[in-house]
Amino acid sequence: MAYDFTTLDQQLEAAREWLAREYSGLRTGRAAPAILDGISVTAYGSIVPLKQVANISVEDARTIRVVAFDPGTLKDIERAISAANLGLGTSADSSGVRVTFPELTSDRRQELVKVAKHKLEESRAAVRVARDEGKKDVQETEKEGGMGEDEKFRILEDLQKRVDLANAELEKAFDSKEKEMSL
């Protein structure tokens, strides 16, 4: 009997995607439009995501340019970015809002590395939970007579290989983010 790893693979992929999203929101010394993803603007009588009212682009290494579709929303956009308390500077001109990333201090870099490490540990915990659920499922299947002991050990070994690969990918993402923060 071939064991179905679909559920495990989906959980491992979810952990990788979650970590990637979390890391995209961590500010580094370089301008990254993803940091503005969680910002909502009060415009047209409702709260809408920033992406729906403006184009966001990188102007240079430490500056993002936010150009509103409707110039009447510029003040609302600037207010929303400032209120998000991301530690970014904003200045509005006639065509849009310029968002500047201040230089990171060494203390702030160390703090951000700690946050990144914590996010890595959270994603590893999700991987461990997925592994434990998979092991439990395999052991229950064996007890019900659905597989032999040799097959159980082979499947558990394959399961562990998948978990090890996922952990290596998470570690690689952390190393990449840590290197990016130290630039």
pLDDT, one tens digit per residue, over 132-149 is 999 999 888 888 887 888
Nearest CA to 158 out of 44, 33, 2 is that of 2
- Per-domain residue ranges of the chain: 6-24+105-181, 33-100
- What CATH topology corresponds to 33-100? Gyrase A; domain 2 (3.30.1360)
Determine the 3-state secondary structure of 43 from DSSP. Answer: strand
pLDDT above 70 covers what percent of the chain? 96
pLDDT one-digit tens code per residue, 51-68: 888 888 888 878 889 998
What's the DSSP call for residue 105? P
More confident residue, 50 or 172: 172
Distance CA 52, CA 58 (A): 17
Residue 79 has pLDDT above 70, yes or no: yes
The structural architecture, per CATH, of the domain 6-24+105-181 is Orthogonal Bundle (1.10)
